[in-house]
Amino acid sequence: MGQRITIAVPDGKFAAYLATPEAANARGTAIVVIQEIFGINADMRETCDNFAREGFVAICPDLYWRQEPNVELTDQTEAEWKKALALYGAFDVDKGVADIDATITAVRQQPGVTGGVGTVGYCLGGLLAFLTATRTGADAAVSYYGVGIDKHLGEAPTISKPLLMHIAEEDEFVPREARATIIETLEDSPHVEIHSYPGCQHAFARINGVHYVDAAAREANARTLKWFQAMR
């Protein structure tokens, strides 16, 4: 179902995982899946494949390419966490958003994509999905437990397309005060819908993750799917 493609930008080129639906199931719309701190791993590929099964073209760009191409880590070992956090610490958010914007442009040119392009991100990707709602032409965005969103809330007035947010109420990477500020700032926006998940830690929807919560993940994913099904 999936394949590797290359996307060119002014300062180089990077890989992306592209999953396409069966022709009879195709919706004509696409989703950019934005990685966590672990790169394009099996979780991100499976997420793309699942969206393709629902009829979307799904693409996940390698946002670590300037540091180290083809990173593929899990949350299962201390060594992988150490490397993932080092990559995250050196990551350039602005360049990452620019790469996602280039991915949005590239996927619009894929065969069968005739309608909208949405974005969905997790963890680091949750922040970047929020920023696609403020900085890019994405037609819809979904943010799962984004880290650092509270530092970018000054951009909120530029949100003009639908943004869905999933917030873990016991997120160890997003302090309670930060979560409260995010909700207070965004809850009255006509374009933003926020859902909180009691008892859930960070990454409650990470497939095979150590903090995976099946009921909450299913609920959040159902909302996400409905969000994108409404995209034109």
Dig out the tokens for 3 from the structure: 């394949």
Sign of CA dihedral 72, 74, 80, 81: positive
Q: Which two tokens stand for residue 221?
A: 């994913």
Query: How many CB atoms sit inside 10 A of residue 230's CB?
Result: 11
Q: Are 126 and 147 in contact (CB under 8 A)?
A: yes
Contacts of 229 (CB under 8 A, 6+ apart): 27, 54
The C-alpha atoms of residue 229 and residue 29 are separated, in whole angstroms, by 9
Look up tokens 């050196």; give the residue. Answer: 90
Asked if 62 and 14 touch (Cβ cutoff 8 Å), the reply is: yes
Please say if 171 is a catalytic residue: yes
Write the CB contacts of 87 (distance below 8 Å, at least 6 apart in sequence).
37, 39, 64, 67, 68, 71
**Residue tagged active-site, from 62, 75, 171, 191:** 171
Catalytic residue among 11, 188, 202, 214: 202
Active site residues: 171, 202
